[in-house]
Amino acid sequence: MKPFITLIRPVNFIITTLSIFVACLLAGGTHEQILFMVFASLGGACIGSGGMVINDIFDIEIDRINKPDRPLPTGAVAKYDALMFYGGLTGFGLIMTAYTTRPAFIIAFISVPMIVMYSKVFKGTPLLGNMLVGALTGLAFIFGGAAVGNMRQMVIPALFAFLINVGREVIKDMEDVEGDAKNGASTLPVVYGMKNAAIIATMFLLFVIASTIVPFITGMYSMKYFILVNAGVNLVLVYVIYSLWNNQSVKNLNLLSKILKWDMLVGLAAIYLG
């Protein structure tokens, strides 16, 4: 089972589960709604993991260059088996979300073809593919709110998630530029160069920093939030921007991508506590 576990990226599975569960709490989820919250969290994580698998299927030739130790390029998992695994994860995720609320199920149902279209069509489209991933990540927070009947409360966290993930996806494209270029993927760094890609990533990360101030100024979130988000999130983003411009090696870009992944959870904690 190890190659299949590797396919779903277990750390991503855990982060997605925690993110949706915290989104449910932020949206006002109660003890009476705990089953909805658990089903939504695990169901959304399964659909997200299915997305990881289908993405690896479409990216198998690119991964032979960028990530040759992944299960599909090494042959540890056959392409057909990976496709069946994707279908099982996605189907199970949809079944679980069907036991939450109708709006949550509709969001989950719509996200499935969006994920496939990203992997098959839009991933190689400069910036558009990155923005689609960001939108799907933000949609996960709206989904968490829908599961407990309060989507409006999750608009701001969804915006944060969208902005930080677009920046992160551009950095990931910079990391994968060699394999993408050799396989004809028209990503931002392939088409417009590493410098312009770094400019776009920096812009989105600066938008995150700017947008975190708005809820405090408008009185939506407390001083505790303001302190936590600046100390725990924005300082990290400043470091990522600095490091991005000083070291664009594959190793460092991979590290920055991982840092941004965890920084989003820190941001959620800041919102929850503040």
90-130, pLDDT tens digit by residue?
999 999 999 999 999 999 999 999 999 988 888 778 888 89
The CB-side HSE value for 222 (13 A sphere, CA atoms) comes to 6
Among 234, 48, 26, 219, residue whose Cα is nearest residue 141: 26
Q: Cβ distance 172 to 46 under 8 Å?
A: no
Q: Measured between alpha carbons, how far is 58 from 56 in angstroms, rounded to an integer?
A: 5
Stated as kind and residue range, the H or E segment containing 217 is helix 194-217
- Per-position b or e across 141-161, b if 16+ CB within 10 A of its CB: bbbbbbbbbbbebbebbbbbb
Q: Measured between alpha carbons, how far is 89 from 93 in angstroms, rounded to an integer?
A: 6
Global pTM exceeds 0.85: yes
24-82, pLDDT tens digit by residue?
998 988 999 999 999 999 999 999 999 999 999 998 888 888 888 999 999 999 999 99
Domain boundaries, the chain: 2-273
Percent of residues, the chain, with pLDDT higher than 90: 64
33-37, 183-187, 255-259: segment of lowest average pLDDT: 183-187
Average pLDDT over residues 244-262: 93
Q: Measured between alpha carbons, how far is 225 from 212 in angstroms, rounded to an integer?
A: 9
Q: Cβ distance 45 to 17 under 8 Å?
A: yes
Is 225's pLDDT higher than 90?
Answer: no
What does residue 193 show for φ and ψ, rounded to 5 degrees? Answer: 95, 160
Q: What is the pLDDT of residue 122?
A: 85
User: CATH number of 2-273: 1.10.357.140, 1.10.3720.10, 3.30.565.10, 3.40.50.11540?
Assistant: 1.10.357.140
